[in-house]
Amino acid sequence: MYQVLYRKWRPQRFSDVYGQNLITATLKNELRTGRIAHAYLFTGSRGTGKTSCAKILAKAVNCLDLQDGDPCNQCTNCRGIDDGVILDIVEMDAASNRGIDNMRDLREEVNFTPSVVRYRVYIIDEVHMLTSEAFNALLKTLEEPPAHVIFVLATTEVHKLPSTIKSRCQRFDFQRILPEDIAARIQFIAQHEDFSVTDDAALLIAKLADGGMRDALSMLDQCITQTKSVTVDTVSDTAGLAGHDHLFDFSKAIKTGDAGNAIALVGKLYNASRDMERLCSELIDFYRSLMIVKSVPKPDRLIVASPSELESLQKHADEYELTEIMYCMDTLQRTFESIKAGASRRVAMEMAMLRLCSPELSDDKSSLLRRVQAIESALKAGARVPAAQSAQQLQTVQKTDKKTDKGLIEHKPKQQLNPATVPTDNTDKGSDTGKDEGIAKETEFSGWDQVVEILYTTCPPLHGVLQDSTACIRGDFILIETDNEMFKSLVTRNGNKRILADAIKSVTGRSYRIGIKKKSAAKQEFADPLSAFIRDSRNMGINLEVE
C-alpha cells in the first residue's frame, strides 16, 4: 500500500528533525548525560515536529545502543516501538480521551512496571483538550510519577493549559520551520524518490506551508500525482493560486486606477475556479512584501522570494508610496474578513478592486491619507492638481506681521459696497458715510493668467494650487480667490510670497500687497471628506501641506 510522504519520511532520529536545532541538541544532551525529566511539554504550531520528537524520545530512552543521543533504530526495542508491538509506549489523543474517567484509568496503569522496555512513555497529543476535571486527576500523577514513567504532553495551544500543569513539565517551544529548511527537506526527499522539484517550486511550497513540514509534504504529495517534474506552475495549479504574474497585473491596475481591468482579472480567475479567499490572502501577502521591501534594508530575510522575484518586487515597490501600500493592505484585510460572511465572494473582491482603484469611493482615514499623499506628490512634481473643495473655510483673519511679513490679509466682501468710494489718507471718520467710508473700488485683474503662467517657471507649487483661481484689484491689494485651501499656507513659506509679488509686479509694473478674497457662505458648503480630513488634521496640529 502507498504510504504518504509525511509518514514515510517522518524523522527517526533527532538528527533528521529540521528547523528545531536547539531543542534536539538539548534533548540529545539530556540523553547522553542521563538527566532525563519525568515530564515534557512540547508546544508549537502544527507540523513543526512535536509528535515526531516525542516518538524519537520514547525510542531513545529505551534504546539498547544509544548513539550520541540518537536511537540506533536497529535494536529490538527500537524496532518493536517502530512496529507498534511494544505496548509500553502509549499514544493518547486528548481530543477523544478528554474525560476524568480516562485520566483515572491512566493513573491506575502507571503503577505497573513496563513489560519489555525500561520506561513506560505516555505521549498525550492535543493535551489542551482535556477537561478541568481530567487535568486535576492528572496533576498528582504528573507531579510525582513512578520512576519508570515518562510523560510527553504535546499541544498547539499552550495558553489553555493550567499553570499547575505547565510548572511540572520541562517545556520546549517548537518554532515555525524556516522556508529554507522546508525547501531543503523537500529537495532531500526528491533526491531519494522518483520525482524532481525546482528550487522555486520548493520555495513556493515552503511559503504556503506557513512553517509546517507536514503541510509542505502533503502539498508535495498532491503535486507529484500530477507530474514527476514539479514546477511553480504545478504548485500554483494544485494550491489554486492566482500566480505571481496575476498579482503584478492586479497591482498595476490598482496603481493606475484601472478598475475595469482589475475587475476583469477577478472574473477571469473566478471562472478558472480560483478561490476568492485565497486570492485575497495572496494579495495581502504581495503588498506585505512590497511594504517590507519599502521599509527594510535587507528584505530577503523577512520574505520568501527567489532573486528574480525579489528584484521585481523592489522595482514595483519604487512606484508606490508607503501610505498607498498600507491603504491597500488595510482594504484587503477588511475584505478578507467580510468574504466569509458575504453571500458572494466574487462580489466582495470586485468591491475591493473598486475601492483600491478609486480611493474616493471610501471615506475612511486610510483612503483620505492616500489621496493627500497623491496631492503632495503631484505638487512636488509641479503638476496641475484640481483644487480641493473645503467643507468649511477658516474664519480667522490673519493680519500682516510687519516684522516677519508672513501673514496674509483676508478681505471679507461688504454687503453694501459703494463703487464710488475711493480710499484716501484723509478719510473723515466722523462723516455720515459710516462704514462704507474708506473702502476702495474693486476691479477685475485681467493680467492674473499671465501671473500664474510666470509662476510655472519661478514657483511650480504655487502654479499648481492657483489653477482655476481669479484675482481682483482693490486699492493697494491684489485679492486672490481660490478654492484650494493649501494656498494660504504655501504662499507664506520659503519666500513664496515674495516670488508671487515679483510676478505680479512684472505684469502690472507696480508693487501690490497680497490678500485672500473671502468667499460668500453659499460657496463654502462642500461635502468632500478629503477637505474635512485636512481641516480636522490642522485643528489637531497635523501638517499635511507640501514642504
More confident residue, 415 or 122: 122
DSSP for 394-429 reads --PPPPP-TTT----EEEPPPSS--TT----TT--T
Tell me 241's DSSP state. Answer: -
Over the stretch 258-293, which tens digit does the pLDDT of each residue have? Answer: 888 999 999 988 888 888 888 898 899 999 999 999
Determine the pLDDT at residue 366: 56
Determine the pLDDT at residue 54: 93
Spans of all domains in the chain: 5-174, 179-239, 244-354, 383-423+439-528
Q: Find out if CATH 3.20.20.140 is the number for domain 383-423+439-528.
A: no
Looking at the predicted structure, is the pLDDT value of residue 1 above 80?
A: no
Determine the pLDDT at residue 446: 86
> With contact defined as beta carbons under 8 Å apart, do 293 and 300 qualify?
no
Give the strand order in the sheet containing 89-93. 89-93, 120-125, 149-155, 39-44, 170-174
CA distance 199 to 205: 10
More confident residue, 309 or 532: 309
Determine the pLDDT at residue 392: 36
Smallest Cα–Cα separation from 356: which of 325, 377, 317? Answer: 325
Q: Could you say which architecture CATH assigns to the domain 244-354?
A: Up-down Bundle (1.20)
* Separation of CA 303 from chain center: 12
Determine the pLDDT at residue 115: 85
Looking at the predicted structure, is the pLDDT value of residue 121 above 90?
A: yes
Determine the pLDDT at residue 310: 82
Over the stretch 123-144, which tens digit does the pLDDT of each residue have? Answer: 999 899 888 888 888 888 888 8
Question: In the structure grid, which three cell numbers stand for residue 163, read together?
Answer: 499553570
CA distance 14 to 32: 13
More confident residue, 358 or 64: 64
Q: Residue range 191-197: average pLDDT? A: 89
At position 332, the amino acid (one-letter code) is L
Over the stretch 205-257, which tens digit does the pLDDT of each residue have? Answer: 988 888 889 989 999 998 998 888 998 888 888 877 666 778 889 999 998 88
Hey, which residues does 155 pair with through a beta bridge? 43
Pick the CATH number of 179-239 from 3.40.50.2300, 1.20.1250.20, 1.10.8.60, 3.40.50.1820: 1.10.8.60
> With contact defined as beta carbons under 8 Å apart, do 170 and 37 qualify?
yes
Looking at the predicted structure, is the pLDDT value of residue 407 above 80?
A: no
CA distance 21 to 174: 10
The dotted CATH code for 5-174 is 3.40.50.300
More confident residue, 409 or 161: 161
Q: Structure pTM?
A: 0.57
Determine the pLDDT at residue 315: 87
Residue with cell 538528527: 15
55-59, 110-114, 354-358, 432-436: least confident range:
432-436
Q: Residue 419's pLDDT band (boundaries 50, 70, 90)?
A: very low
Judged on CB neighbours under 10 Å (0-12, 13-18, 19+), 33 is exposed
Q: Residue range 282-306: average pLDDT? A: 85
Looking at the predicted structure, is the pLDDT value of residue 101 above 80?
A: yes
> With contact defined as beta carbons under 8 Å apart, do 112 and 87 qualify?
no
CA distance 343 to 278: 17
> With contact defined as beta carbons under 8 Å apart, do 464 and 384 qualify?
yes
CA distance 62 to 120: 9
Determine the pLDDT at residue 385: 47
Determine the pLDDT at residue 524: 47
Determine the pLDDT at residue 415: 44
Looking at the predicted structure, is the pLDDT value of residue 476 above 60?
A: yes
Looking at the predicted structure, is the pLDDT value of residue 374 above 70?
A: no
Smallest Cα–Cα separation from 244: which of 205, 273, 283? Answer: 283
More confident residue, 45 or 359: 45
Average pLDDT, the chain: 79
Looking at the predicted structure, is the pLDDT value of residue 435 above 60?
A: no
Residue 474 parent element (H or E): strand 470-474
Give the C-alpha distances (Å, rounded to integers) separating 497 from 501, 507, 512, 514, 542.
Answer: 6, 16, 11, 8, 23
Residue 184 parent element (H or E): helix 179-191
Same fold, 244-354 and 383-423+439-528: no
Can you tell me whether residue 42 is helix, strand or coil?
A: strand
- Give the number of residues written for the chain: 547
